[in-house]
Amino acid sequence: MVTASSPVDGGTVLITGASSGIGREFAAQLAARAGTLVVAARRAGLLEALRTELMAAHPRLQVVALSVDLSDEREVDRFVAALREQVGAVDVLINNAGLGDQALFDATDWTRTRQILHTNVVGVVQLTALLVPSMVERGRGGVLNVGSGAGLTVMPASAAYSASKHFIDGFSEALRADLAGTGVVVTQVCPGPVDSDFDTVAGSVGGMTGAPPQFLRISAARCAREALAGFDAGQPLVFPGRAYRIVMRALPLVPRSLRRRQAASSAARLRSQAPPAATGLRSAQPEISETETPDRKTPT
Protein backbone atom coordinates (compact mmCIF):
# COMPACT_ATOMS: atom_id res chain seq x y z
CA MET A 1 0.00 0.00 0.00
CA VAL A 2 1.39 3.42 -1.00
CA THR A 3 1.79 5.74 1.95
CA ALA A 4 1.25 9.51 1.84
CA SER A 5 4.80 9.98 3.04
CA SER A 6 6.48 8.30 0.08
CA PRO A 7 9.13 10.63 -1.39
CA VAL A 8 7.98 9.53 -4.85
CA ASP A 9 4.65 11.35 -4.62
CA GLY A 10 4.99 14.82 -6.08
CA GLY A 11 8.77 14.50 -6.00
CA THR A 12 11.58 14.52 -8.54
CA VAL A 13 12.55 10.99 -9.49
CA LEU A 14 15.67 10.02 -11.48
CA ILE A 15 15.61 6.66 -13.27
CA THR A 16 18.76 5.37 -14.94
CA GLY A 17 18.50 2.79 -17.71
CA ALA A 18 15.03 4.16 -18.43
CA SER A 19 14.83 3.58 -22.18
CA SER A 20 13.52 0.00 -22.01
CA GLY A 21 12.77 -3.01 -19.82
CA ILE A 22 12.29 -2.49 -16.11
CA GLY A 23 13.56 1.08 -16.28
CA ARG A 24 10.89 2.01 -18.79
CA GLU A 25 8.26 0.35 -16.60
CA PHE A 26 9.45 2.35 -13.59
CA ALA A 27 8.88 5.52 -15.63
CA ALA A 28 5.44 4.44 -16.84
CA GLN A 29 4.26 3.49 -13.36
CA LEU A 30 5.65 6.58 -11.64
CA ALA A 31 4.29 9.04 -14.20
CA ALA A 32 0.99 9.40 -12.36
CA ARG A 33 2.69 9.98 -9.02
CA ALA A 34 5.88 12.00 -9.48
CA GLY A 35 6.02 15.73 -10.06
CA THR A 36 9.09 15.44 -12.26
CA LEU A 37 10.61 12.40 -13.94
CA VAL A 38 14.20 12.42 -15.14
CA VAL A 39 14.79 9.53 -17.52
CA ALA A 40 18.41 8.69 -18.29
CA ALA A 41 20.15 6.16 -20.53
CA ARG A 42 22.66 6.12 -23.36
CA ARG A 43 20.30 6.20 -26.33
CA ALA A 44 18.90 9.70 -26.71
CA GLY A 45 16.42 8.70 -29.41
CA LEU A 46 14.64 6.16 -27.22
CA LEU A 47 14.61 8.59 -24.31
CA GLU A 48 12.97 11.30 -26.38
CA ALA A 49 10.32 8.85 -27.58
CA LEU A 50 9.64 7.87 -23.96
CA ARG A 51 9.49 11.51 -22.92
CA THR A 52 6.93 12.28 -25.64
CA GLU A 53 4.82 9.28 -24.67
CA LEU A 54 4.81 10.14 -20.97
CA MET A 55 3.96 13.79 -21.51
CA ALA A 56 1.10 12.90 -23.86
CA ALA A 57 -0.41 10.60 -21.25
CA HIS A 58 0.32 12.94 -18.31
CA PRO A 59 0.20 16.60 -19.46
CA ARG A 60 0.98 17.97 -15.99
CA LEU A 61 4.09 15.84 -15.57
CA GLN A 62 7.49 17.39 -16.18
CA VAL A 63 9.74 14.92 -17.99
CA VAL A 64 13.43 15.56 -18.59
CA ALA A 65 15.40 13.19 -20.82
CA LEU A 66 19.18 13.18 -20.41
CA SER A 67 21.58 10.78 -22.12
CA VAL A 68 24.59 9.59 -20.12
CA ASP A 69 27.23 6.86 -20.18
CA LEU A 70 27.51 5.78 -16.56
CA SER A 71 30.85 4.06 -17.21
CA ASP A 72 32.48 7.48 -17.75
CA GLU A 73 33.03 9.31 -14.45
CA ARG A 74 33.52 12.71 -16.06
CA GLU A 75 30.35 12.28 -18.08
CA VAL A 76 28.45 11.43 -14.90
CA ASP A 77 29.73 14.64 -13.32
CA ARG A 78 28.49 16.63 -16.33
CA PHE A 79 25.18 14.77 -16.20
CA VAL A 80 24.61 15.66 -12.54
CA ALA A 81 25.52 19.30 -13.22
CA ALA A 82 22.93 19.43 -16.02
CA LEU A 83 20.43 17.64 -13.79
CA ARG A 84 20.81 20.21 -11.02
CA GLU A 85 20.49 23.07 -13.48
CA GLN A 86 17.31 21.75 -15.07
CA VAL A 87 15.37 20.22 -12.16
CA GLY A 88 17.22 21.05 -8.95
CA ALA A 89 17.35 18.48 -6.15
CA VAL A 90 16.43 14.85 -6.73
CA ASP A 91 14.08 13.22 -4.23
CA VAL A 92 14.37 9.60 -5.35
CA LEU A 93 17.24 7.91 -7.20
CA ILE A 94 16.49 4.64 -8.98
CA ASN A 95 19.80 2.98 -9.88
CA ASN A 96 18.51 0.66 -12.57
CA ALA A 97 21.08 0.81 -15.38
CA GLY A 98 23.80 -1.77 -15.66
CA LEU A 99 25.63 -4.26 -17.88
CA GLY A 100 25.65 -8.04 -18.05
CA ASP A 101 27.73 -10.66 -19.81
CA GLN A 102 27.90 -14.40 -20.32
CA ALA A 103 31.43 -15.74 -20.75
CA LEU A 104 34.00 -17.76 -18.87
CA PHE A 105 36.29 -15.24 -17.21
CA ASP A 106 39.53 -16.37 -18.87
CA ALA A 107 37.95 -15.65 -22.26
CA THR A 108 36.48 -12.24 -21.48
CA ASP A 109 37.67 -8.93 -22.86
CA TRP A 110 39.12 -6.54 -20.28
CA THR A 111 37.66 -3.46 -21.95
CA ARG A 112 34.14 -4.85 -21.58
CA THR A 113 34.80 -6.15 -18.08
CA ARG A 114 35.96 -2.68 -17.11
CA GLN A 115 32.76 -1.20 -18.58
CA ILE A 116 30.67 -3.59 -16.54
CA LEU A 117 32.44 -2.69 -13.30
CA HIS A 118 32.41 1.05 -13.96
CA THR A 119 28.70 1.04 -14.89
CA ASN A 120 27.40 -1.41 -12.30
CA VAL A 121 29.60 -0.31 -9.40
CA VAL A 122 31.36 3.03 -9.86
CA GLY A 123 28.45 4.69 -11.67
CA VAL A 124 25.97 3.62 -9.00
CA VAL A 125 28.15 4.81 -6.13
CA GLN A 126 29.06 8.06 -7.89
CA LEU A 127 25.43 9.02 -8.51
CA THR A 128 24.48 8.05 -4.98
CA ALA A 129 27.35 10.06 -3.49
CA LEU A 130 26.42 13.13 -5.51
CA LEU A 131 22.67 13.05 -4.85
CA VAL A 132 22.08 11.56 -1.39
CA PRO A 133 23.66 14.30 0.79
CA SER A 134 21.00 16.83 -0.24
CA MET A 135 18.29 14.27 0.59
CA VAL A 136 19.74 13.93 4.07
CA GLU A 137 19.85 17.71 4.45
CA ARG A 138 16.15 17.92 3.55
CA GLY A 139 15.29 14.94 5.77
CA ARG A 140 13.44 13.21 2.96
CA GLY A 141 14.29 11.04 -0.04
CA GLY A 142 15.05 7.56 -1.23
CA VAL A 143 17.33 5.25 -3.18
CA LEU A 144 16.06 2.17 -5.01
CA ASN A 145 18.93 -0.03 -6.17
CA VAL A 146 18.32 -2.73 -8.75
CA GLY A 147 20.47 -5.65 -7.70
CA SER A 148 20.07 -9.27 -8.79
CA GLY A 149 19.74 -12.76 -7.45
CA ALA A 150 23.20 -13.19 -8.98
CA GLY A 151 24.47 -10.98 -6.18
CA LEU A 152 23.30 -13.41 -3.54
CA THR A 153 24.74 -16.69 -4.78
CA VAL A 154 27.49 -18.24 -6.94
CA MET A 155 27.07 -17.57 -10.68
CA PRO A 156 29.35 -19.22 -13.24
CA ALA A 157 30.37 -17.57 -16.53
CA SER A 158 29.50 -14.09 -15.28
CA ALA A 159 32.25 -13.25 -12.78
CA ALA A 160 32.30 -9.47 -13.23
CA TYR A 161 28.51 -9.14 -13.45
CA SER A 162 27.90 -11.38 -10.44
CA ALA A 163 30.59 -9.61 -8.42
CA SER A 164 29.08 -6.24 -9.26
CA LYS A 165 25.72 -7.42 -7.94
CA HIS A 166 27.31 -8.76 -4.76
CA PHE A 167 28.68 -5.23 -4.35
CA ILE A 168 25.21 -3.72 -4.81
CA ASP A 169 23.90 -5.99 -2.07
CA GLY A 170 26.61 -4.96 0.39
CA PHE A 171 26.40 -1.31 -0.62
CA SER A 172 22.62 -1.19 -0.25
CA GLU A 173 22.66 -2.80 3.19
CA ALA A 174 25.42 -0.51 4.49
CA LEU A 175 23.81 2.58 2.95
CA ARG A 176 20.50 1.72 4.57
CA ALA A 177 22.24 1.39 7.95
CA ASP A 178 24.12 4.68 7.49
CA LEU A 179 20.95 6.57 6.56
CA ALA A 180 18.71 5.12 9.28
CA GLY A 181 16.78 7.90 10.99
CA THR A 182 17.58 10.50 8.32
CA GLY A 183 14.29 10.21 6.45
CA VAL A 184 16.01 8.68 3.41
CA VAL A 185 14.71 5.24 2.43
CA VAL A 186 17.03 2.63 0.88
CA THR A 187 15.58 -0.44 -0.84
CA GLN A 188 17.23 -3.09 -2.97
CA VAL A 189 15.25 -5.13 -5.49
CA CYS A 190 16.85 -8.40 -6.62
CA PRO A 191 14.95 -9.70 -9.65
CA GLY A 192 15.17 -13.16 -11.09
CA PRO A 193 14.39 -13.87 -14.76
CA VAL A 194 12.48 -10.93 -16.25
CA ASP A 195 10.98 -10.48 -19.72
CA SER A 196 13.38 -8.13 -21.49
CA ASP A 197 16.15 -8.23 -24.08
CA PHE A 198 18.82 -8.52 -21.41
CA ASP A 199 19.56 -12.22 -21.91
CA THR A 200 19.72 -11.87 -25.68
CA VAL A 201 22.10 -8.92 -25.61
CA ALA A 202 24.23 -10.57 -22.93
CA GLY A 203 24.63 -13.58 -25.21
CA SER A 204 22.57 -15.89 -23.02
CA VAL A 205 19.36 -16.57 -24.93
CA GLY A 206 17.15 -18.75 -22.74
CA GLY A 207 18.70 -17.44 -19.53
CA MET A 208 22.17 -17.06 -18.05
CA THR A 209 24.13 -20.11 -16.95
CA GLY A 210 23.31 -20.90 -13.33
CA ALA A 211 20.30 -18.58 -13.27
CA PRO A 212 16.95 -19.58 -11.70
CA PRO A 213 14.61 -21.75 -13.84
CA GLN A 214 12.78 -19.91 -16.61
CA PHE A 215 9.35 -20.84 -15.23
CA LEU A 216 10.07 -18.22 -12.56
CA ARG A 217 10.20 -15.50 -15.24
CA ILE A 218 7.93 -12.48 -14.73
CA SER A 219 7.09 -9.39 -16.76
CA ALA A 220 9.07 -6.18 -16.46
CA ALA A 221 5.85 -4.45 -15.43
CA ARG A 222 5.32 -6.81 -12.50
CA CYS A 223 8.94 -6.48 -11.45
CA ALA A 224 8.72 -2.68 -11.39
CA ARG A 225 5.35 -2.72 -9.62
CA GLU A 226 6.53 -4.99 -6.79
CA ALA A 227 9.81 -3.09 -6.47
CA LEU A 228 7.96 0.21 -6.05
CA ALA A 229 5.53 -1.33 -3.57
CA GLY A 230 8.46 -2.54 -1.50
CA PHE A 231 10.12 0.86 -1.67
CA ASP A 232 6.89 2.60 -0.60
CA ALA A 233 6.66 0.22 2.35
CA GLY A 234 10.27 0.90 3.33
CA GLN A 235 11.37 -2.70 2.80
CA PRO A 236 15.13 -3.35 2.70
CA LEU A 237 14.98 -6.15 0.12
CA VAL A 238 12.43 -7.12 -2.53
CA PHE A 239 12.25 -10.36 -4.50
CA PRO A 240 9.63 -9.75 -7.23
CA GLY A 241 7.44 -12.69 -8.18
CA ARG A 242 5.79 -15.03 -5.67
CA ALA A 243 7.48 -18.29 -6.72
CA TYR A 244 10.89 -16.64 -7.09
CA ARG A 245 10.48 -15.01 -3.67
CA ILE A 246 9.96 -18.45 -2.08
CA VAL A 247 13.07 -19.79 -3.83
CA MET A 248 15.25 -16.87 -2.75
CA ARG A 249 14.09 -16.98 0.84
CA ALA A 250 15.04 -20.66 0.93
CA LEU A 251 18.46 -20.02 -0.66
CA PRO A 252 20.32 -19.51 2.67
CA LEU A 253 19.34 -23.07 3.58
CA VAL A 254 21.39 -24.45 0.67
CA PRO A 255 25.02 -25.00 1.80
CA ARG A 256 27.48 -22.71 0.05
CA SER A 257 29.66 -25.73 -0.71
CA LEU A 258 26.82 -27.23 -2.73
CA ARG A 259 26.29 -24.01 -4.62
CA ARG A 260 30.00 -23.91 -5.43
CA ARG A 261 29.88 -27.44 -6.83
CA GLN A 262 26.82 -26.67 -8.93
CA ALA A 263 28.44 -23.53 -10.34
CA ALA A 264 31.68 -25.36 -11.14
CA SER A 265 29.74 -28.13 -12.86
CA SER A 266 27.82 -25.63 -14.99
CA ALA A 267 31.03 -23.82 -15.96
CA ALA A 268 32.75 -27.08 -16.87
CA ARG A 269 29.82 -28.10 -19.04
CA LEU A 270 29.87 -24.74 -20.79
CA ARG A 271 33.60 -25.03 -21.44
CA SER A 272 33.37 -28.56 -22.81
CA GLN A 273 30.30 -28.09 -24.99
CA ALA A 274 31.09 -24.76 -26.62
CA PRO A 275 33.71 -24.23 -29.33
CA PRO A 276 36.63 -21.97 -28.25
CA ALA A 277 35.15 -18.86 -29.88
CA ALA A 278 31.85 -19.39 -28.10
CA THR A 279 33.41 -19.25 -24.65
CA GLY A 280 34.69 -15.78 -25.35
CA LEU A 281 33.07 -12.40 -24.93
CA ARG A 282 29.35 -12.13 -25.44
CA SER A 283 28.74 -9.09 -23.31
CA ALA A 284 25.81 -6.75 -23.15
CA GLN A 285 26.14 -3.36 -24.75
CA PRO A 286 26.77 -0.46 -22.40
CA GLU A 287 23.28 0.66 -21.76
CA ILE A 288 21.53 -2.48 -20.95
CA SER A 289 19.77 -2.14 -17.73
CA GLU A 290 19.17 -4.98 -15.35
CA THR A 291 15.88 -5.17 -16.80
CA GLU A 292 16.26 -3.24 -19.85
CA THR A 293 16.94 -3.83 -23.52
CA PRO A 294 20.09 -2.76 -25.31
CA ASP A 295 20.13 0.73 -24.03
CA ARG A 296 19.86 -3.47 -18.91
CA LYS A 297 17.94 -6.23 -14.10
CA THR A 298 17.53 -8.80 -15.47
CA PRO A 299 19.27 -12.04 -15.27
CA THR A 300 20.14 -13.35 -11.87
Q: Which of 161, 171, 198, 239 is catalytic?
A: 161
Cβ neighbours for 77, distance < 8 A, ≥ 6 positions apart: 130
User: How far is it, in rounded angstroms, from Cα 189 to Cα 21?
Assistant: 15
144 - beta bridge partners? 94, 187
Cβ neighbours for 60, distance < 8 A, ≥ 6 positions apart: none
Q: Are 228 and 30 in contact (CB under 8 A)?
A: yes
User: How far is it, in rounded angstroms, from Cα 48 to Cα 65?
Assistant: 6
Quote the distance between the C-alpha of residue 283 and its chain's center: 16
Tell me if residue 161 is catalytic: yes
Give catalytic residue positions: 161
